[in-house]
Structure 1
Amino acid sequence: MPDDVKPYRHRFPKSIIQHAVWLYHRFTLSYRDIEELLLQRGIQVSHETIRDWCEKFGPTITKELRKREPRRGSHWHLDEVCVKIKGVKHWLWRAVDEHGAVLDVLLQEHRDTDAAKTFFTKLLSGYEAPTTIHTDKLGSYGAAIREPPELHGAEHREVISTARCNNLIEQSHRPTRNQERSQKGFKDIEKAQKFLDLHARTSNLHHHTRTTVIAETRRTNQRAAFQTWSEVALLAA
């Protein structure tokens, strides 16, 4: 279907919808910011409509982006940070590989062994078992790693986050923190999880577009990321 065809029951073409969703997940922008950016280009759409687009098409884009991700590394770095949803403390569990690519994220109400087991189950459903697992000194990790047979061959290394031994995972949390501040906190755990899933996949897609490589290589990487986004977004819309 051509890019400029309007999706069923939507009065805007796919190209506008996918661009709005991309803006929201690529940069630290609010729905109202995107509304203004589109208006500057002569596109009049409300921030509520942009929110609806993100919620409707986000899960499919997430799924399609994940299908296209390359094979990930065998050294996992795991960490968890506190996130408040409607004032209630939750924990955001995150795993990245040795190259800084996000493997998965999971919001949970607890920071205990059962929560760690749940996160490892989610990781192992999508990736091969790692050779090395780096975590902080939370005891729940050790207990959770000992249970799955797939992890028995993995070396578990405990690091001290405050000593900057786990910088890959610490840096990976920053975009989420920025977006959390932009949204003035997350309001709903299910919607927050869907947002974070796509936010992670978008981060991976653009992982090599802001590096210190020469400008020509960086632009080539950026064009490839733009093309991939357009392809998966058009499938979703």
Structure 2
Amino acid sequence: RRFLKRLVAQFGHPRVVITDKLRSYFKPVHDFAPGADHRPHKGLNNLIEGSHRPTRRREKIMGRFKSPRQAQRFLAAHNQISIIFRPRRYRLSTISYRHARADAFGLWDGYAAEMTA
């Protein structure tokens, strides 16, 4: 109650209040923000939990991004590089895997030489 009262005093009356499903939140929200739309939902405050994109798991691991757009831009580039260095191990024999990794590092050395030249 005190926390919600302080928030309403500091920021004004909200349009929407999102809380988890704890029943003790319903009465204070109704008292201090009567016109607000109260949405009791577990994951709405959390951008990662609310996201249904295929990168959700990696976003959660790399949680230091300022926005979902920045994370998506980084992951798009990272995914292309990651595929080169992580061949599908379960489909390859040991020798083939070692050759694939050596080829990947050879490609990377070539790209790095082009970028610095």
One fold, TM greater than 0.5? no
Pair member with larger Rg: 2
Which structure carries more strand by proportion?
1
TM-score between both structures, scaled by the size of structure 2:
0.43
Higher RCO structure (Cα 8 Å, ≥6 apart) = 1
Which structure carries more helix by proportion?
2
